[in-house]
Structure 1
C-alpha cells in the first residue's frame, strides 16, 4: 500500500482545504511531520485512518467530533485520500456526520455521513466502473484490499509509541487483549467456550443422573418406611425386598383364616334374622287389623262427605265464574265514571252524549291537532335558534377580546427573540473558543510545570557533569597505571626471558645455546597477571566514564528540551498567564454551558410567536364568521315568529295548544270505550247467574248456598280418597300376610336373639377386612419395592459411564482453559497468542539489538504467573552486559523507547505476514524521539533508513529539533486562530 495524496477540509484543526502530497514527501523515502503542540500533526494520521475505515484510532475515536469549529458554515467536512493497493489506484472520499447551521432560519441540522470510492486506473474484476457510494461497501472493499481491519492497521501502519510502551510493560491480561484484536484468535476462544459450555451441559446431565439415583433411593426408602443408611446400595435394597416378601406370606395366611370365620358367623346371623322377620310380620298384621276395627265409624262419615263434595263440583265452578263476572262489571263501571270525570276536566261539556256522538267529536278534534304537528317542530327549532343567537353573540365578543389579548402578547416577542439570538450567538462563539483556550491552558500548564522543573534539571546536569569529570579522572588514572605497568614490564622483559632460559636451550631472541651474561631484574618485576588486572580496571573505568557521559547527555538533553519549551519565561510569568487563561476559560465555559438552554429558549420563543400569530388569526376569523351567521339567523327567527303567534291562539305556544287537543281526543276515546265495555259486562253477568241456579237444582241441592256448603277443595277430596283407599289396602294386606304358608304356626308373642349373632358377625367381618387390607398393603408395598428397585438399578447402571465420560471431559476442559493438569497455566488461546508473541519477539529482537548496539534482546517466557495465575505471554529483555534477564519495566526512558519502537516494528511485520495483507509501502511513527541522545538517535535513524529500503516511505511525527537537521524533507503544521495550515519544507536544511 502506498499513499499518494491526502486532502482535508474543515477536519480537526484544519478550517480550510489542505493538501498533503505524499509522492513529494516520500521522494527521499523519509520525511518529517513537525509543528507546535496541538497544531494537528496527529490529525493528519487520523485523516488517513478515517478515509480508509471511517474511524480514528485511540481515545480520539470515542469522541466522534471531527468537524473543525473554526470552519465556515458552507465548507463541507471531508477527507480525500489517493492510494495504490495491490496494483489498483483509487480515490476515497469520506464525510463524517456533523451538525451544521440551517440555511434558512436558525438552529442546526444534521449532515449525514457519506463515503465514495472511485477507481483511477483499471477497474478490478467484479467491481462497478462508476465506483462505490455506500459506506458499508466502501469499508468492506478497503478492508479486503488491505487484508486487515482498522485495529490491525492502526498498529501496523500508524505506530503509536505510547501504546507499545504500555504493551511492553503490560500484564498478561492487557497484553492478551491487544494480541487478540491483532491476530484474530476468537476461534480459539470459541473452542475454549465450547468446552466450558459442553462441560456445564454434561455436568448438569450428570447431576441429573445422580439426582435420579438419589430420588429413586429416597422413594424406595419412603415405600419401605425405613431410613436408608449412608452407604445404601443394591445390598440394602435386596434385604428390604426379602423382608417385604416375608410380610406378604404372613398376611396371606391370616387372610385365609379370617375369611373362613367371617363366612360361618354371617350364616348364623342370616338364620336368626329370617326367624325374627317372620315374627315381626305376624305381629304387624294383627296390629293393623285391630286399628282398622277401631276407625270403622269415622271411615263411614268420610265416605258420605266425599260423595256430597263430588256432586257439588259443577255448581262451584259456575258460581266462581259468576263472581268473576260481577267483579269485572264493577271494574268497567268504575272505569266509565273515571273517563267521564277526565273528559269533564278537559273542559268538554257534553259528557252524557251517546257513544256515536263522542266518537264523532273525537275525530274532528284529531284532525285539528294533526294540522298543528308541523308548527310544533318549527316552535322547537325557534327555541334552539334563539339559544344559538345568544351563543353567537357571546362568540363574537369572546373572539374579539381574545384577538386583542393575543395582539398585546405579540408586541414584546420580536424584541425578546432578537435578544435571545444575540445571547445564543455569544454562547456559540464562546463554545468555539473553548477548545483553543483549553489548549492554551494545557500548554501553559505544561510549560509552567517545565519551568518549575528547570532548577532540578539544572542541578541534575551539574551532578552529571561532576560525576562525568570524576569518572574521566578515574579512567585517566587507571589508564596511566596501565601504561606505567606496561612500560615497566617491557623494561623487565629481558630479565623475564633470562629467567626462562635453561642450560643448553636456545635463546628465543638470538638463538644461541650459550648464555654468558643473562640479564637480571633491577627492581620489582611486573608480571602478565598484574598488567591484565590493571587493563581490566581501566576497561571498567572506561565503561563507567561512558555511562556517566550518557547520563550527562541525557540530563543535558532533558534540560535543553525543557528550556526550549519554556523559552526563557519565568515561573511567575507563566503562573500569571495561566491564571488569566483559566479565568477566561471559566468565563467561556460558563457562557458555553448556557447554549443548550438558549437554543431551547429561542425555539420556544419562535414557536410561541408563530403559535400566537396563528391563534390571533383564528380568533379574528372566528369573530367574523360568528357575526355573519348571527345576522342571517336573526332574520329567519323574526319571520318564523309571526307564523307561530297566529297558530297558538290563546295558548302560550303551539305545542301547548296541540297537547290540549290531543288530551281531549284521548279522553273522548277512553269514555266511548268505557261505555261500551260497561254494557257488555252487564249482559254477561245476568246470563251467568241464571246458569248457576239451574246447576244447583240439577245436582239435587235445595239452593245454591247448600251446594256451596257441601263443596270441598281438591286437597280435601284427595285426602278423603287416599284415607279410604289406604284403609282398604291395609286390611287386605294384613289378611294376605296371615294367610302365607311360611307364617303358619308363628305366634305374635315369639322372641328371637339376633343381637348376639350380629355382634359375632361384625367382629368376624372386621377381622377379615383387616386381614385383607394388611395383605393388600403388603402386596402393594412388595410390588412397588420391586419396581423401584428395578428403576434404581437402571439409574445406577446409567450413572457409571456418565461419570467416567464427565471426568475425562472435565480434565480436558481444564487443560484447554489453562487449569488442572496444565502445568503452564496456559489456555488454548493463550498458547496460540504465545506462539505469535514469540514470533514478534524474534522479529523485534533483530531491530532492538541494532538500536541498542547489541546490548538488549527480547525474551519470550511461557512460564506460569505468580500465585498460579495464567502465563504464556511474558516478555522480558536480556542484557548482554550483565548476562541477566530482567523485566522491561527496569529500562530507562530512552531504552523503553527503543524497545517499544522495535516491538512495534516487529509486531507490524508479523501482523502483515499473518493477515496476508497488501505490501505496506508507507509507514508512520508517531513521537517518542525526545528521549534519545545523539548517538542513539543515529542508530535509530539507521534502522529507519533500513525500513525505507526497497521503496518504502517512512513518515516521522515529532517536534524534536534535531530531527529537523537530519531529515531533509519536512511538512510543517502551523497553528493560528483561524485554523492550522500545512507548509512543505525541502532540502535546504539537509546541507
Structure 2
C-alpha cells in the first residue's frame, strides 16, 4: 500500500482546504512532519485513517462533531480525500463525517449525514464496478478485502501512535493479550474456550438437574409411602420393589373391610328411616287435631270480624261523596274571600253595583287608555330627540377643536421630515462602518494580549535556557564518570573473577581446572553495584537533560510566535489604539441600532401629510351636516311638547297616566271574575250536600253519621280479610290431615334415639373403612407412578454422567487446567506463538539500534501470584548476559524497544493477514528521548526501511530531526486555522 495524495477540508484544526502530496514528500523515502504542539500533526494521520475506515485511532474517534473544524465557515463542508495504490490498483476514497451545521434559514442546527465514495483510477480489480462505490458498508468491505486488515490492525502497523507500543512493552499479560488478539484475529480461539466453558456449564447444569430430579422422585416415593428413604449404600432398586409389594397387600386388606362395614351401615340406616316416617305421621295427626280444637274455641270472634269488614266495605262510596262535599265547601269559602280582596283594591269604584254596570265602567277606562297609546310613543321619541340634540352640539364642538389641532400639526410637518431624513442617513453610515471597526477591535485585543504575555514568556525562556545548560553540564559530568568507572571495572574484572577460583574447580570463562596465573587486584576496584548505580545516575541525568531541552525549545517557540504576531506593536501602543477603536465601535453601534427607528419615524411623517389633509376635509363635511340636523330637530321637539303637556294632565308623563288607567281596568275585571266564581261555588256546595245524604241511605245506613262511624282504614280492612282467610286455610288443612292419617293412633310412641345412635355408629365405621381403603389405593397408585418415573430417570442418568466426565476433562485442558502441563489456555498458546514470531522480528531491529546490546526474549513463565503465563516479554542485556523485565529500560531504551517492537509487529501482522505490502509507514513522536549516538542508530534502521522501497513519515518537533531530514511538511497554527507547507 502506497499513499499518493491527501486532501482535507474543515477537518480537525484545518479550517480551509489543504493538500498533502505524498509522492513529493516520499521521493527521498523519508520525510518529517513537524510543527507547534497542537497545530495538527497527528490530525493528518487521523485523516488517512478516517478516509480508509471512517474512524480515527484512540479516544479521538469517540466523538463525531470533534472531526469538524470549529473555526470553519458554516457553508464549508467537512471532507477528506485520499488517493493510494493497493495491490497494483489505484483508487480514490472521499469521506464526510456526520456533524451538526447551522440551518440556512432560521436558528438552530441540522444534522449533516455521513457520506463516502470510492472511485478507481484506471482499471478496477476483477469483479468491482467500474463506476465505483457510494455505499459506506460496501466501501468498508472493499477496503478490508484490499488491505487484508481491519482498522485496529491498521492503526498499529501503519500509524505507530504516541505511547501505544511503550504501553504494550510494559503491559501485563492480560493487556498484552487484548492487543495481540485484535491484531492477529484470534478471537475464534477465545470463542472456542468460551464455547467449551459454556458447554460444560450447561451440561453440568443439566446433569445436576437430572440428578436432583431423581433425588426428588425418590423423596416423593418415600413420602407417599409414609416410610424413610433407603440408607446410604442400600440397593435402591430392591428397596423400591419391596415397597410396592407391601403397599399392594395393604390395599387389598382395606378394601375387604370396607365392603363388610358398608353392608352393616345400610341395614342400620333402613331401620332409622322406617322409624322416622312413623314418628312424623303421629306428630302430624296430633298437630291437626289440636288446630281444629283451637279454631272452634274462637268462632264468635271470627263472626264479629266478618260483620265489621262488611260494614266498612259498604261505607266506602259514602266516604267518597263526603270528600267531594268538603272540597266544594272549601272552594266556596275561597271564592268569597277573593271577592272581598278584589273589592278593597278597586278604590274610587262603586263595588256594590251589579256586574253589568261594573263591566261598562271598565270598558270606558279601557278606551281612554287606548287613546293615550300613540302619545306614549311620541313621548319616548321626544326624549330620544333631545338626547340627539345634545350629542350634535358636543360633536360640533369636538370636531372644531380637532380641526384646529390638525391645522397646527400641518404647520411644522416639513421641518420634521427633513430632520428625520438626516438622522436616518447618519445611522446607515454608522452601520456600514461598524463591522470594519469591530474587526479592528478584535485584532487589537488579541495583539494586546500577546504584548502582555511576551515579557513573562521571555523571562520563562531565560529560566529554561539556564536550566537546560545546567542539565547538559550535569549529564556530561555523570557520563564521563560512568565511562571512567567502566574502564576501571574492565581493568579489574580479571581480578574479580580470580577471587572466586578454587583449585580443581573449572574456570567460568575458559573451563580449565588449572589456574596458573590468576589476575591480581588493582587499586580502587569498581564493583558491579557501583557501575549500575553510576549508569542509573547517568540515565536519570540524560532524562532531565532531554526534558529541560524540550521545555526550552517550547519556550523559544512560544516567544517566536508572540513576536511574529506583534510585529512593531508595543503594549502601550496597542492599549491606546484599542481604547480609541473601542470607543469608536461603541459610538457606531449605538448609532446603527437607531437605523430602524429613524426609518420608521420618516415613513410615519411622510404619510402624515396626506392623512392630515384628508382628515380636515372629513371634519368640515361632518360639522356642516351636524349643524343642519341640529336646526331641523329643534323645531320638531318644540311643536311636539305642546301636545304631550295636555295629554299627561296631573301625572308625570303620558305613560304614567295610561298605566294608571290600565291598572284600574284590570282590578275591575278581577272583581267581576271573583264575584262570578263565588256564585258558582255556592251552587256546587249545595248540590254535594244533597248527594251525600242520598249515598248514605243507598248503602243501607240510617243516616250520614252512621255511615261515617262504619269507616275503617285500608290497613284495618286488609288485616281483617287476611285473618279470616288464614282461619279458613288452617281449618281446611287440619281437616285434610286428619282424614289422611285416620289409620294412625295419636297415642303411639316411637323410639328414634336408639335407631339414630345405631345408624350413626355404623356410618362412622363405614366412613373410616372407606377412607383407609381410599388412602391405601391412592398411596399404591402414586408410588407406582413415581416409581415408573424414577426408573426412567435412573436409566437416562448413565450416559449423561459419562458424557459430562469427558467434556469436563477436555474443557480443563483448553482452559489451562487438569492435564494441561503448561497451564496455558488455548488462546494464550496461540498468542504466545504469535508473540514469539514478533519477538524474533523485533530483535533484528533492536540489536541494530542498540549496537547489539539488547534482544527480545519471549517467556511462557507464570506471572506473579499464580497468574497464567505464555505472553511474557523480557530483554536480554548483552553487557551483563542477564535477562530483565522491559520495565527496567530507560526512557530512550524504551523508545528503541517500542519502535523495534512496532516495526516487527507490523511485519508479522502483514504476513499473517496476507494483506497488502505496507509501503508507507508513519511513526508518531518519541525521538526526543534519544541521545545523538542512539538517534544515529535509529536513523540507520529507518534508512534500511526506505532502502527496501518504503516511505517513512516521522512526526516530531525535535529540532535535531530538522537538521537530519531534508524533506519536511510544516504545520503552522493560527487563530483562523492550521495550514500546511512543504520545506526542503
> What is the TM-score when the length of structure 1 is the normalising length?
0.64
Alpha-carbon shift at residue 769 of structure 1 (Å): 3.6
Q: 2:867 aligns with which of 866, 869, 879?
A: 869
Residue in structure 1 matched with residue 182 of structure 2 by the alignment: 181
Residue in structure 2 matched with residue 464 of structure 1 by the alignment: 482
CA spacing shift, 1:712–1:187, aligned 2, 3 Å: same
**Cα distance in 1 for residues equivalent to 2:795 and 2:473:** 84
More moved, 245-254 vs 145-154? 245-254
Does the CA contact (< 8 Å) of 1:444 and 1:574 recur in 2? no
Does the CA contact (< 8 Å) of 2:457 and 2:558 recur in 1? no
Does the CA contact (< 8 Å) of 1:318 and 1:692 recur in 2? yes
Residue in structure 1 matched with residue 901 of structure 2 by the alignment: 903
Does the CA contact (< 8 Å) of 1:451 and 1:566 recur in 2? no
**Cα distance in 2 for residues equivalent to 1:957 and 1:135:** 30
Q: 1:294 aligns with which of 273, 292, 297?
A: 297
Q: Cα deviations across residues 577-623 of structure 1 (Å, max 9, x unaligned)? A: 9xxxxxxxxxxxxxxxxxxxxxxxx9xx99xx99x99xx99xx9xxx
Q: Secondary structure at the match of 1:876?
A: strand
CA spacing shift, 1:444–1:909, aligned 2, 3 Å: farther
Q: Cα deviations across residues 456-499 of structure 1 (Å, max 9, x unaligned)? A: 42441231242245357669999xxxxxxxxxxxxxxxxxxxxx
**Cα distance in 2 for residues equivalent to 1:464 and 1:220:** 88
Alpha-carbon shift at residue 158 of structure 1 (Å): 1.7
CA spacing shift, 1:81–1:345, aligned 2, 3 Å: farther
Alpha-carbon shift at residue 268 of structure 1 (Å): 4.7
Q: 1:927 aligns with which of 925, 928, 950?
A: 925
Residue in structure 2 matched with residue 326 of structure 1 by the alignment: 326
- What does 1:547-626 align with in structure 2 at a 5 Å threshold? 565=550
Alpha-carbon shift at residue 727 of structure 1 (Å): 5.6
Give yes or no for the alignment of 1:762 onto 2:765: no
Residue in structure 1 matched with residue 834 of structure 2 by the alignment: 836
Structure 1 residue ranges without an equivalent (≥5): 383-413, 479-526, 578-601, 987-991
CA spacing shift, 1:568–1:195, aligned 2, 3 Å: closer
Q: Cα deviations across residues 938-964 of structure 1 (Å, max 9, x unaligned)? A: 554443333224532222334566655
Q: Secondary structure at the match of 1:951?
A: coil
Does the CA contact (< 8 Å) of 1:69 and 1:432 recur in 2? no
**Cα distance in 2 for residues equivalent to 1:174 and 1:735:** 113
**Cα distance in 1 for residues equivalent to 2:914 and 2:366:** 115
Q: Secondary structure at the match of 2:121?
A: coil
CA spacing shift, 1:809–1:49, aligned 2, 3 Å: same
Q: Secondary structure at the match of 1:743?
A: coil
Does the CA contact (< 8 Å) of 2:849 and 2:896 recur in 1? yes
CA spacing shift, 1:281–1:869, aligned 2, 3 Å: same
Residue in structure 1 matched with residue 161 of structure 2 by the alignment: 160
Q: Cα deviations across residues 378-398 of structure 1 (Å, max 9, x unaligned)? A: x9xx9xxxxxxxxxxxxxxxx
Does the CA contact (< 8 Å) of 1:156 and 1:911 recur in 2? yes
Q: Secondary structure at the match of 2:701?
A: coil
Residue in structure 2 matched with residue 151 of structure 1 by the alignment: 152
CA spacing shift, 1:470–1:320, aligned 2, 3 Å: same
- What does 1:5-20 align with in structure 2 at a 5 Å threshold? 5-7=5-7, 19-20=19-20
CA spacing shift, 1:82–1:765, aligned 2, 3 Å: closer
Alpha-carbon shift at residue 981 of structure 1 (Å): 6.2
**Cα distance in 1 for residues equivalent to 2:68 and 2:519:** 69
**Cα distance in 1 for residues equivalent to 2:445 and 2:38:** 22
CA spacing shift, 1:904–1:320, aligned 2, 3 Å: same
- What does 1:421-500 align with in structure 2 at a 5 Å threshold? 453-454=471-472, 456-470=474-488
**Cα distance in 1 for residues equivalent to 2:662 and 2:6:** 102
Alpha-carbon shift at residue 281 of structure 1 (Å): 5.1
Task: Please report the RMSD computed on the Cα atoms of aligned residues, expressed in angstroms.
Answer: 6.8
Residue in structure 2 matched with residue 703 of structure 1 by the alignment: 703
CA spacing shift, 1:361–1:807, aligned 2, 3 Å: farther
CA spacing shift, 1:864–1:729, aligned 2, 3 Å: same
Residue in structure 2 matched with residue 24 of structure 1 by the alignment: 24
- What does 1:439-838 align with in structure 2 at a 5 Å threshold? 453-454=471-472, 456-470=474-488, 565=550, 693-710=693-710, 743=743, 746=745, 748=747, 751-794=749-792, 805=803, 808-809=806-807, 812-813=810-811, 815-818=813-816, 822-838=820-836
Residue in structure 1 matched with residue 317 of structure 2 by the alignment: 317
Q: Cα deviations across residues 24-51 of structure 1 (Å, max 9, x unaligned)? A: 3322323344566666544443443344
**Cα distance in 2 for residues equivalent to 1:124 and 1:671:** 123
Alpha-carbon shift at residue 171 of structure 1 (Å): 0.9
**Cα distance in 1 for residues equivalent to 2:656 and 2:201:** 93
CA spacing shift, 1:316–1:100, aligned 2, 3 Å: closer
Q: Secondary structure at the match of 2:916?
A: coil
**Cα distance in 1 for residues equivalent to 2:833 and 2:758:** 97
Q: Secondary structure at the match of 2:163?
A: helix
**Cα distance in 2 for residues equivalent to 1:336 and 1:225:** 105
Query: How many residue pairs end up in the alignment?
Result: 834
Residue in structure 2 matched with residue 83 of structure 1 by the alignment: 84
**Cα distance in 2 for residues equivalent to 1:111 and 1:446:** 48
CA spacing shift, 1:18–1:551, aligned 2, 3 Å: farther
Does the CA contact (< 8 Å) of 1:252 and 1:775 recur in 2? yes
**Cα distance in 2 for residues equivalent to 1:888 and 1:809:** 40
Does the CA contact (< 8 Å) of 2:68 and 2:99 recur in 1? yes
Does the CA contact (< 8 Å) of 1:332 and 1:674 recur in 2? no
Q: Cα deviations across residues 905-959 of structure 1 (Å, max 9, x unaligned)? A: 1211222233343332111223344555666555544433332245322223345
Residue in structure 1 matched with residue 426 of structure 2 by the alignment: none
**Cα distance in 2 for residues equivalent to 1:872 and 1:466:** 41
Residue in structure 2 matched with residue 944 of structure 1 by the alignment: 942
Q: Secondary structure at the match of 1:317?
A: helix
